Amino acid sequence: MRSLTLLRHGRTSYNAEGRFQGQVDVPLDELGLEQARAVALHLAGSASISRIVSSDLRRAAQTAQALSEATGVPVAHDASLREISVGDWEGYTRDEVAEKWPEELDAWLAGTDMRPPGGESRNESATRVFEAINRLVDEAPEDEDLVVVAHGAVIRSATEMLLDMADGRGRLGVLTNCTYARLSPGRTGWVLRAWGGGAESVALARPDTDATVVSAS
Kindly list the catalytic residues: 9, 83
Q: How many CA atoms lie within 13 A of 83 on its CB side?
A: 26
Residue 151, phi then psi, degrees to nearest 5: -135, 155
Report the distance separating Cα 27 and Cα 52, nearest Å. 19
Residue in 212, 207, 185, 181 with CA at minimum distance from that of residue 195: 181
Beta bridge partners of 51: 146
Report the distance separating Cα 165 and Cα 76, nearest Å. 29
How does DSSP classify residue 87? G
Residue 144: other Cβ atoms inside 10 A: 17
